[in-house]
Amino acid sequence: MFVTSAFAQESAPAADTSHAATGADTHSGTSVPAEAHGAFPPFDPATFPSQLLWLAITFGLFYLFLKRVVVPRVGGIIDVRNDRISQDLDQASKLKGEADAAVAAYEQELAEAKKNASSIGQQAADAAKAEAETARKKIEAALDEKLGEAEARISSIKANAMKEVGSIAEDTASAIVEALVGGKASKAEIAAAVKSVAR
């Protein structure tokens, strides 16, 4: 706390008079009466005009500092962020367009691949069917040929068997006639009898 010269002059004579009046009390001369101090300077009405002046000057300087330094920097930061956000949005839009184009190209290639796979599958099925048909015809021809050969063999075997059956029948008939009649029959009669039965 600072002490003005007027306050110091007023307090010094008061201390002298109180010391002279009491004579024996040494402590009473050092105390300062409460009314000698006056009001606290910020609350003193006499200092209000200077306080208001300094408040206006300080507020004006603070306002100029905010206007010239702080607000432009904050505005610059906001502009930079807005530019960066708009660039990021443009880049994202560009990448989204590229991704959509890639997806469309992929879907088109996939559709073409499915179409090609279907046609290739159909061609393979047709080729397999044609090969199977050719193989079937070859097998049928081979079977027909073998069947013809088998039928020819059977016919020859049957003819041979029939010849042998005829001779066996003749021999058997001759043996039966001999056993029953006791005499021999002529071969021509027995052959004619077997032929007549075979018909």
Most confident of 15-29, 30-44, 132-146, 178-192: 132-146
Res 12 pLDDT > 80: no
For residues 9-26, give the mean pLDDT: 45
Q: Report the pLDDT averaged over residues 77-81.
A: 94
Asked if residue 20 has pLDDT above 60, the reply is: no
Distance of alpha carbon 152 from the chain centroid: 73
**Predicted TM-score (pTM) of this structure:** 0.35
Q: Yes or no: say if 184 and 178 are a contact pair by the CB < 8 Å rule.
A: yes
CA distances from 173 to 86, 141, 181, 199 (A): 124, 46, 12, 16
Which pLDDT does position 183 carry in this prediction?
Answer: 65
Model confidence band, residue 25 (pLDDT cutoffs 50, 70, 90):
very low
Q: What is the mean pLDDT of residues 50-61?
A: 95
Exposure string over 40-79, b if 16+ CB within 10 A, otherwise e: eeeeeeeeeeeeeeeeeeeeeeeeeeeeeeeeeeeeeeee
